[in-house]
Structure 1
Amino acid sequence: MRVAMIQMDMQLGKPEANFEKAEKLVRMAAELKPDVITLPETWNTGFFPRENLKEASDVDLEQTKKLFSRLAKEYRVNIIAGSVANCRDEKIYNTAAVFNRDGEVVMEYDKVHLFSPSGEHEYFEHGKKICNFELDGIPCSLVICYDIRFPELIRSEMLAGSKVQFVVAQWPDTRLLHWDTLNRARAIESQSFLCCTNSVGTAGNTKCGGHSAVYGPMGECLVLGGEAEQILMADMEIGAVDGVRDSINVYRDRLPEVYKI
């Protein structure tokens, strides 16, 4: 599975400009002939405008689906369309959407863990389910930003069969040590590939740190981005996951009856 990660810079509270830019970047990435293209978190609004958030949000993913269904079909590519601020039933969610090569929506996921230090929980609604899906027959899963700090969520998706974990984020540069460490740790403990796509640029007073990366099931780094807007490419040999899980079989050796979570 070849992935192209779009480490995007966006404008806070300006969805039309961000949609235009996202389309341009996806078309650039598609020319590189990947199997999957990824975008970061809340790229339609930035993370996140307190004023006029509802007006800036997509409505039930209507604009997101219209654009990425068309692009996925045009280029015959799978798209992890990052996440967007999304108004549904008069509530706002941080919602990711996944499209297959036929332009079909194969999964929608509302961010479960909202980042309380920034007040995200005061503006957005919590999601209530994990996110597992298949792309080209490969079992995959997805989380959004702060979710990566909750290994029980990642393990739940792994127990549902995932071999590739996608992470989309707007992670600040002040905590890049955490970003790099947590993503590598989740790959090692899950014995899976982990593809983490972060944004760059400044949203309000927050500067996002980039460092988008792909880690292998032994924690090896296949590609690591810098702090500027760019498209990163990596090839994931999915068969390696089974080999690692057979050699150190943490899934067989788990004792869930002991854990108090």
Structure 2
Amino acid sequence: MRVSAIQFAVKLGDVEFNYAAAERLICKAAEQGTDSVVLPELWNTSFYPPNVEELADTDGERTKPFLENLAKTYGINIVGGSVANKRNGQLYNTTFIVDRKGTMVSSYDKVHLFTPGKEEKVFTAGNAVNVFSLDEVQMASVICYDIRFCEWVRKAALSGIQLLFVPAAWPYPRLNHWQILNQARAIENQLFIAAVNSCGTAGTLKFCGHTMLIDPWGKIIAQGEDEERIVAADLDFSVIKSIRDKINVFHDRRPELYNIE
């Protein structure tokens, strides 16, 4: 499966620019030849303007048909990063996933809200793991800060996923955390990771880019720097079995000892 991770400078509060940029880059990735595309976190508003609730989509009314039409037109799967999304009077940081037929297959509300950025004062946290299948491959997605919570990623991994998507709006100066945490989650769960970040700025934040595709050994097989780029690679899921046969961490787990409450 060829996966294309779209890194671009999401403009703070400029919703029209951001939808146009996302469409342009999805089309470009499709023309280059891909199976699955993933966008960064909060690509409709950036992270996040003071009037984010006013600018947010309403129950995906704009985002879902936008992604569905592009997926169906180009015959590609789209993991829609995440958008600011109003639902039942509350604001969520939401991922929408669409298959190559243009069918919405899953959605995910960010579970761990970034309290240093006061995200919890604006957004409502989700409470469910997001596991889905695209092209008969089991996958999951989390959002940005979620990657710091190894037990949350492990919970998804225990369902048998082979690829984890991590859309983010991750700033400098924590670039080394971005790289190390994603590599660690890949190694400890023996799966591929597509970690896509924003670049550019939002107010005082400068996003560090370095979108990465990581293999189950933790090797970065494709990476951007800090400018607009489509980071793409072919993922061979057959290697996962051989890796897990060599070092079978799932077989050797002792969950009866892991009461961490």
Give TM-score, length-normalised by structure 2.
Answer: 0.98
Deviation at 1:153, TM superposition (A): 0.6
Deviation at 1:54, TM superposition (A): 1.3
Q: What's the counterpart of residue 190 of structure 2?
A: 191
Q: What's the counterpart of residue 164 of structure 2?
A: 165
Provide the identity percentage.
46
Report the 3-state secondary structure (helix = DSSP H, G, I; strand = E; otherwise coil) of the residue aligned with 1:82.
Answer: coil
Q: What's the counterpart of residue 224 of structure 1?
A: 223
Deviation at 1:25, TM superposition (A): 1.0
Q: Which runs of 5+ in 1 are unaligned?
A: none
Report the 3-state secondary structure (helix = DSSP H, G, I; strand = E; otherwise coil) of the residue aligned with 1:197.
Answer: strand
Q: What's the counterpart of residue 254 of structure 1?
A: 253
Q: What's the counterpart of residue 91 of structure 1?
A: 90
Distance 1:182 1:233 in 2: 20
1:10 pairs with 2:16: no
Deviation at 1:246, TM superposition (A): 1.1
Q: What's the counterpart of residue 238 of structure 1?
A: 237
Distance 1:252 1:239 in 2: 19
Deviations 1:77-132 (A, max 9, x none): 00011100000011000000110001111110000000000000000000010010
Number of residue-to-residue matches in the alignment: 260
Deviations 1:189-236 (A, max 9, x none): 000001100000001110000000011111111011100011111111
Report the 3-state secondary structure (helix = DSSP H, G, I; strand = E; otherwise coil) of the residue aligned with 2:18.
Answer: helix
Q: Which runs of 5+ in 2 are unaligned?
A: none
Deviation at 1:260, TM superposition (A): 2.0
Residues 141-156 of structure 1 aligned to structure 2 (within 5 Å): 141-156=140-155
Q: What's the counterpart of residue 45 of structure 1?
A: 45
Aligned-residue Cα RMSD (Å) equals 0.7
1:36 pairs with 2:18: no
Distance 1:84 1:110 in 2: 10
Distance 1:144 1:114 in 2: 9
Q: What's the counterpart of residue 24 of structure 1?
A: 24
Distance 1:77 1:9 in 2: 23
Distance 1:219 1:12 in 2: 32
Residues 48-63 of structure 1 aligned to structure 2 (within 5 Å): 48-50=48-50, 52-63=51-62
Residue identity in the other structure for 2:224: G
Deviations 1:124-156 (A, max 9, x none): 000010010001000001000000000001000
Deviation at 1:14, TM superposition (A): 1.4
Report the 3-state secondary structure (helix = DSSP H, G, I; strand = E; otherwise coil) of the residue aligned with 2:83.
Answer: strand
Residue identity in the other structure for 2:67: F
Residue identity in the other structure for 1:46: S
Distance 1:250 1:178 in 2: 24
Residue identity in the other structure for 2:36: V
After TM superposition, which residue ranges in structure 1, 4 or more long, deviate above 6 angstroms? none
